[in-house]
């Protein structure tokens, strides 16, 4: 059972455009939703994260939109740059005695010059 | 402040062998989680260590085992290697509160690329 579903699998955006990646979750106990960026041969790097008490969080060109009732959240990359070309993973974690991340399958983003 | 480090970077083993991977957590962090990332997939949780004890395990068989040391560094051991164990193994460190609570930020190391032939 895949608890976090991510789409699209791949995405091509022109430089300066907006990249949008969507995720949906099933477990209502999840209460922490980070996005990770991964370059080839590297480990995932935490990009931005949100908790369900807010509907939007913005950091620079990166924005998370969160819809608790729909159990969906999305990453928007404004003014996309070729350096943003990477694989992006959404993840979710739940409040419990320990925290572990459940990841989506990833979106490969290519920003064309 | 140093980040999460892992060793070795790459490793090639044959089926049936055993392997040990190492991780040093980020300064100030007390919890280490291990993940397996197959090619083209998201990381899958293997287990987590807190205060030198296993604090949770994902859907991995007992031949995957680990240790955490008093300095919070950790090892992942895999016995009887299988071809499907070929993957990038990621270590992530975090700071867990005694009372639990919302998921805390996890910071990943660069990973160890394991190839099983």
Rounded to 10 degrees, what is the CA torsion of A45, A47, A49, A55?
-160
Q: Would you say the C-alpha torsion B67, A45, A89, A35 has a positive or negative sign? A: positive
Is there a contact between B43 and A95 if contact means CB atoms under 8 Å apart?
A: no
- Residues shown for chain A: 113
- pLDDT tens-digit readout, A8-21: 999 999 999 999 99
Is there a contact between A99 and B58 if contact means CB atoms under 8 Å apart?
A: no
- pLDDT tens-digit readout, A13-71: 999 999 999 999 998 888 889 999 999 989 999 999 998 889 999 999 999 999 999 99
Taking one residue from A and the other from B, the number of pairs with CB-CB distance under 8 angstroms is: 79
Q: Provide the token pair at A33.
A: 């939703």
**Closest approach of chain A CAs to the CA of B15, in angstroms?**
24
**Closest approach of chain A CAs to the CA of B87, in angstroms?**
12
Q: Which residues share a beta bridge with A11?
A: A109
* Alpha-carbon gap, residue A23 to A48, rounded angstroms: 14
Other C-beta atoms closer than 10 Å to the C-beta of A63 total 18
* Alpha-carbon gap, residue A59 to A112, rounded angstroms: 23
Helices H / strands E in chain B, number of each: 0, 11
* Alpha-carbon gap, residue B68 to B54, rounded angstroms: 8
Is there a contact between B103 and A43 if contact means CB atoms under 8 Å apart?
A: no
Cβ-based interface (< 8 Å): residues of B facing A: 4, 6, 31, 33, 35, 40-45, 48, 50, 55-56, 58, 90, 92, 94, 96, 100-111
Could you tell me if B26 and B107 are in contact, meaning their C-beta atoms sit under 8 angstroms apart? yes
Is there a contact between A44 and B44 if contact means CB atoms under 8 Å apart?
A: no
pLDDT of residue B94: 86
Residue of A nearest to B96 (CA): A98
SS3 B85: helix
Q: State percent of chain B over pLDDT 90.
A: 72
Backbone angles phi, psi at A8, to 5 degrees: -80, 175
Mutation target vs A (from B42, B47, B53, B98; most A CBs, 10 A cutoff): B42
CB contact residues (below 8 A), chain A span 47-106, against chain B: 49, 51, 89, 91, 93-106
pLDDT of residue A98: 63
Could you tell me if B81 and B116 are in contact, meaning their C-beta atoms sit under 8 angstroms apart? yes
Identify whether B8 is preceded by a cis peptide bond (ω within 30 of 0). Answer: yes
Q: Is the pLDDT of residue B99 over 50?
A: no
Q: Looking at the complex, does the CB of residue A44 fall below 8 Å from at least one CB of chain B?
A: yes
Is there a contact between A99 and B107 if contact means CB atoms under 8 Å apart?
A: no
- pLDDT tens-digit readout, B10-38: 999 999 999 999 999 988 888 899 999 99
Is there a contact between A43 and B100 if contact means CB atoms under 8 Å apart?
A: no
- Candidates A96, A107, A111, A110; CA nearest to A35 is A107
Q: Helical H runs in A6-89?
A: none
């Amino acid at each position: 059972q895949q608890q976090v579903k991510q789409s699209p699998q791949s995405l091509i955006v022109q430089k300066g455009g907006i990249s949008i990646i969507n995720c949906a979750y099933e477990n209502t106990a999840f209460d922490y939703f980070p996005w990770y960026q991964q370059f080839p041969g590297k480990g995932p790097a935490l990009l931005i994260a949100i908790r369900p008490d807010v509907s939007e969080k913005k950091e620079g060109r990166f924005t998370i939109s969160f819809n608790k009732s729909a159990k969906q959240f999305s990453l928007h990359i404004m003014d996309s740059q070729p350096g943003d070309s990477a694989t992006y993973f959404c993840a979710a974690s739940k409040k419990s005695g320990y925290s572990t991340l459940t990841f989506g399958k990833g979106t490969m983003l290519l920003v064309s010059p | 402040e140093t980040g999460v480090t892992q060793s070795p970077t790459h490793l090639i083993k044959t089926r049936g062998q055993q392997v040990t991977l190492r991780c040093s957590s980020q300064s100030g962090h007390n919890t280490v989680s291990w993940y397996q990332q197959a090619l083209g997939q998201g990381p899958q949780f293997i287990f987590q260590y807190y205060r030198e004890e296993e604090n949770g395990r994902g859907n991995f068989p007992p031949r995957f085992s680990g240790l955490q040391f008093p300095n919070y560094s950790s090892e992942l051991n895999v016995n009887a290697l299988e071809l499907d164990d070929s993957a990038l193994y990621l270590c992530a460190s975090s700071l867990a509160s005694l009372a639990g609570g919302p998921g805390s930020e996890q910071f990943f190391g660069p990973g160890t690329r394991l190839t099983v032939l």
